[in-house]
Every structure is written in C-alpha cells, then in structure tokens.
Amino acid sequence: MRTALGGIALGGVAGYAALQWLGRTYGSTPTERRMPMPGDEIVLEPQYDITHAITIDSTASEIWPWLVQFGWHRGGWYTARSVDRLLFPANEASADHLIAALQHLEGGDFIPDGPPESECGFDVVQVEPERHLVLESTTHLPLKWRTDWHARLRWTWTFLLIPLDPGPQTRFVFRWRARAAPWWVRALATLLIVPADAIMSHDMLQGVKQRAESPVLSHH
C-alpha cells in the first residue's frame, strides 16, 4: 500500500512539474524564448517571462484578422469549449468566423476579459498589422483583491507573426511577462496560473491555427 501511494505521489509531482515546464515553454524553441519581442520593455525585471509558439500553414495576413477580434464576448480566445465551460463558464463560445465589426483595433482600445462589473481586460499598447499586437493589463485579479487587499498583477501579452520560408507558413509566437505583489499573489500565480497556461495557451494556439488554416472563412 505504501509503495502504491508513493508511486501515485511521485506521479503527481512529475505531472505537476511537467505542467510547470509546459506552462512556461509550450511550443517555443530556446531561441524564441531568448529573443527580444515588442512589449518586453513594459514589464521590467519580470517574475514571469513565458513564451509559446506554433507554426501555422497560412500567411500573416490570413492569421491577423483572427488576432484583432480576441476578447471576452468578442471573438473569444479560441480555447476549447470544454475548457471554457470548466474554467470560465461565463464565456461565450469562441468565434469560428471572422467578424467584420471587430477588424479595426488601435492603440488605446480596451479589450474586455470578463463581465463589465469585473473591470477586467487589456489595454491595447501596440498594433502593427500583420506583424504584432501588444496588450497590457493591471486588472486580472478580483476587484476586491485590488481595492481592499492591495493585490497587484501587471502583465503584457504579445502576439508576434514571423513569416517563414518557404511560404506560406508563419510562426505565431505568444509571450507573456508579469510582476505580481504581494508574495501570496505571486505564489498563486506560480502554483495555478503557470500550469493552467499549459492548457490555455495550447488551446489558444491550436485554435488560431485551425481557424487560419481553414479553407473557408465566413464573415458576419
């Protein structure tokens, strides 16, 4: 019995360690994790510097329209519906079509990532069409934590499209950098957000890939 329980415990530790590793590196190469990206200068001395990537058999111009409609009750984040129901039940299903009304995005715009009362979302910092999109947030903690407990989480999301030769192929690189305070917010981010990112980032990258590679894109 002790041997069996020990094996289960070791398996659990190994599985969690794998999620921590994948949550920080899924899909990316060592070179991609080291390379500078737009938005790196926003969060200086980050406690989290995490890079994911995927190769998409489409051009940057075919991928870009899916990125600019990111957001809560916009195009979504292209994660699997089962994952949304489990972790974010208030989310609508991610769009499987391009939405003409959401195709214009510029610096200073706000992209919601929760219901209005949460005040949660991203500010658009940089937009270079068909190249990169940089988002920044200081609102991804419960409002009570921020107002009553002085909890802080500042982070950036950068989405970078790198055309590959021979085309049409594009490397889609996603990086997030963050600082959290006080210590218990950082502990929660390390224990929960990083391993969850192994699932969420995988789903998002795969979701963008599947949509951009689709031979038929319906427009509403």
Strand order in the sheet with 169-181: 48-56, 169-181, 152-164, 132-137, 121-128, 110-112
What is the residue-level pLDDT of the chain in tens, covering all 220 positions?
Answer: 556 555 555 556 676 777 777 778 889 999 999 999 999 999 999 999 999 999 999 999 999 999 999 999 999 999 888 877 777 777 788 999 999 999 999 999 999 998 888 889 999 999 999 999 999 999 999 889 999 999 999 999 999 999 998 779 999 999 999 999 999 999 999 988 888 888 888 899 999 999 999 876 544 4
The reported pTM is: 0.88
In whole angstroms, give the CA distance from residue 28 to residue 45: 21
CB burial readout 12-29, b (16+ within 10 A) else e:
eeeeeeebbebbbbbbbe
- Which residues neighbour 112 within 8 Å (Cβ) at sequence distance 6 or greater? 71, 72, 73, 74, 120, 121
Q: What is the DSSP string of the chain?
A: -HHHHHHHHHHHHHHHHHHHHHHHHTT--HHHHHS--TTTTTSSS-SEEEEEEEEESS-HHHHHHHHTT-BTTTTB----HHHHHHH-TTPPPPPSSB-GGG----TT-EEE-S-GGGT-EEEEEEEETTTEEEEEES--S-HHHHHHS--EEEEEEEEEEEEETTTTEEEEEEEEEEEEESHHHHHHIIIIIHHHHHHHHHHHHHHHHHHHT-S---B-
Domains and CATH numbers, the chain: 28-212 (3.30.530.20)
pLDDT for the residue 92: 82
Which pLDDT score, from 0 to 100, does residue 210 have? 95
Q: Residue 25's pLDDT is what?
A: 85
Whole-number pLDDT of residue 163? 96
